[in-house]
Amino acid sequence: MSHKTRVSRRRLLKQGALLVSTGFVLNSRNGFSQTTLAPADSTKVLGPLPSELGTRTPFESIKREVGRFDPDGYSLTPLEKLSGIITPSDLHFERHHAGIPSVDPEWYELLIHGLVDRPLKFSLADLKRFPSESRICFIECAGNGYQSSLDRSDIPEEVTPGQLDGMLSTSEWTGVRLATLLREAGASTRATWFLAEGQDAAVMSRSIPMTKAWDDALVVYAQNAEALRPEQGYPVRLLLPGWEGNSSVKWLRRIEVSDAPFMTREETAKYSDAKSAGKVELFTFTMGPKSLITSPSYPAVLPGKGWWEISGIAWSGNGKIEKVEISVNGGKSWQSANLHEPVLSKCTTRFTFPWYWDGKATIFMSRTTDDQGFHQPSVTEARKGRGPRTYYHNNVIRPWQIDNDGRITFGLKTLV
Amino acid sequence: MNSSVIHLFIRAAVKIVFLSTVATTICLAENPNLPERFSIGREPSSNEIALWDIDIMPDGKQLPSGQGTIVEGEQIYLQKCLACHGPNGRDGVNDQLVGRFGPDNDFANDKSLNKTIGNYWPYATTLYDYINRAMPMTNPGTLTADEVYSLVAYLLYLNGIVDKSTTLDAKSLPLIKMPAYSMFYWSEEVKDLVGTKNR
């Protein structure tokens, strides 16, 4: 803060709007100063001029929540602060194990080989020459929501929606169908699996069924209209709509077409699901239907009875969201929420519900059903075929608890 | 069959082949105006492919030449692995590597259980694949084939899966049966996607 600004602020306290305006003008015609001090009358003040890159207003504070375990780490999308369905690109969640690689787009190549007529390498410019496609869809980590455990002692109460389910983001992705690239290489019709491998220092690899390649798998190079962010896989990543995030391999360097799964470390020792004693399930790709009320939520305190809009997001890897239902009486009765357009397949959908809160303690929650007939499980249903340590694919109903003083906390403990 | 029936047969067969080819071309291209191939991309040399083709499948066919012993593995482990994974593969700051398999292990409910190579990895070849590509975490992709074989042998020994005299190489590694192998089964979802598979 410059001396001029500090002097201007002292004058404001003594004198009035015009002098403050002067201070503001002197310091900020070429850009916003890092201050949340607004002039008393903005119609009297010339403001900053146009700039090459926009910035958020200093009046809003929004950021990911970061966890670093060098070289491992994650960052969470602040879901409670967002409207609509799109995640701003710089708020997209992260999960990687060897840091973000720096890849020069001039030298980047994607190799496709294995059971193909001709192995091929594509540059980034090559990939952009193929017929392209755009799709708005979510990416969710399989481990998202692990805190909604079925073990009471593991369930937190003071947790925001972002802290609970923040490894979920939605973007418009643009790229070329993997099927188009496989045809270019002449992939064999007897191939049943392919390996996708990334070029970060973890060189992470996953086996994917070829049916997904022929279905809707994309090789993407754009995220929300611009080039992919480095954290999301610049310059090219695999995008498997509706499937667990780990399988949408970032910093994609290689596709190997085969007739058997490769049994990588990620799909065996990590992203497998222990269902009961001595039984572990392999290859659970699809993210199930889930809904989450993002507002009101912890740590909000409703000041009193009256109309408060319940707002949240719902998504399913199976297809479109068919309905979202809200209960404001602990599950005794349910009513339909409004779904905001567009309602897209394997994409987040915004829902809202006008709620007259009577000022009394209660539990409010949402549950969703997708257009393939699958629904978000209740606690009782969620217990079937999993235990508190099954860990992945946690999509049980997420209740919020409000007390007589309007204080809101995560309420799953009350149902488990 | 007389010759006129055979003739009809052949004509029908040719029609079917022709129509299915046309149908396939149209379906695959999704748009009758687009070609099956766009002639975009370049053909890499086999050396280029070999540089990146580092994965090891359960059949072990791509395992390189080389070999490893437990004695050598222990030396490499002390230098390059202990700092993260702890002495004897336990009590480190990163993933626990050593733990005995129990047929009644309940990873869905038992909070005291950590997943280790011994109790949760279905394939020994995956151990080669993973160590080779990603370890040590601070210096990945720097181990020689002999070093990887030795580390795999040492970790399997610590987990009670091989004895101390074992030498591992491309032939013997794929033959190792991991105790946790019996726990794993394919989901209904993937069986629908790829068809039923004999494991």
DSSP for A120-149, please give it.
EEEEHHHHTTS--EEEEEEEE-TTTTTTS-
Name the residue in chain B with its Cα closest to that of A269. B121
Record the pTM.
0.89
Kindly report whether the peptide bond that precedes residue A88 is cis, defined as omega within 30 degrees of 0.
no
A124: which 2 tokens?
A: 């980034």
Burial of B150 (0-12, 13-18, 19+ CB in 10 A): buried
Q: What's the length of chain A?
A: 416
Tokens of B127: 């151990």
Q: Nearest residue of A to residue B62 by CA position?
A: A262
Chain A residues in contact with B96 (beta carbon < 8 A): none
- Phi/psi of residue B52, nearest 5 degrees: -100, -20
- Residue A346, both tokens: 């394997």
Chain A nearest CA to B199, separation (Å): 10
Predicted confidence (pLDDT) at residue B106 exceeds the cutoff of 90: yes
Please tell me the predicted confidence (pLDDT) of residue A273.
96
Residues of B (150-179) whose Cβ lies below 8 Å from A: none
Please say if the pLDDT value at position B26 is more than 50. no
Q: Specify the 3-state DSSP secondary structure of A350.
A: strand
Distance CA A181, CA B183 (A): 37
Give chain A's residues under pLDDT 50. Answer: 1-8, 11-12, 15-28, 34
Interface of B with A in 61-100 (CB under 8 A): none
Residue A285 to residue B58, Cβ atoms within 8 A: no
Look up tokens 């022929």; give the residue.
A214
- Tell how strand A252-258 and strand A109-114 pair up: parallel
H/E stretch holding B114: none
Beta pairing, strands A279-282 & B184-186: parallel
Count how many residues are written for chain B: 199
CA dist A57 and A28 (Å) reads 13
Residue B14's pLDDT band (boundaries 50, 70, 90)?
low
Interface contact B37-A184, CB threshold 8 A: yes
CB contact under 8 A, B194 and A210: yes
Kindly state the tokens that stand for A285: 């790709």
Run of H or E including A273: strand A273-276
Name the minimum distance, in Å, from the CA of B127 to any CA of chain A. Answer: 8
Angstrom distance (rounded) from CA A393 to CA A274: 11
Comparing CB atoms, the residue among B105, B113, B130 nearest residue A278 is B105
pLDDT number for residue B90? 94
Edge to edge, the sheet with strand A349-357 lists A290-295, A306-315, A349-357, A338-339
C-alpha B105/C-alpha B184 separation (Å) is 13
Residue B103 pLDDT level (bands cut at 50, 70, 90): confident
DSSP A268: I
pLDDT of B102 over the 80 cut? yes
The ipTM assigned to this model is 0.89
Return the residue in A146, A247, A281 with the most chain B beta carbons within 10 A, the one to mutate for interface testing.
A281
Q: Which of B13-17, B57-61, B78-82 has the lowest mean pLDDT?
A: B13-17
Q: Burial-class residue A304 by CB neighbours within 10 Å (0-12, 13-18, 19+).
A: exposed
- Give the distance from residue A144's alpha carbon to the nearest chain B alpha carbon, in angstroms: 17
Dihedral sign from CA coordinates of A286, A289, A295, A296: negative
Find, among A92, A57, A54, the residue nearest to A239 by Cα: A92
Contact A269 B121 (CB under 8 A): yes
For A256, which of B55, B138, B185 is closest by C-beta distance? B55
Residues 6 or more apart from A221 whose CB is under 8 A from it?
A124, A127, A128, A174, A175, A227, A228, A235, A236
Q: What are residue A205's DSSP bridge partners? A: A197
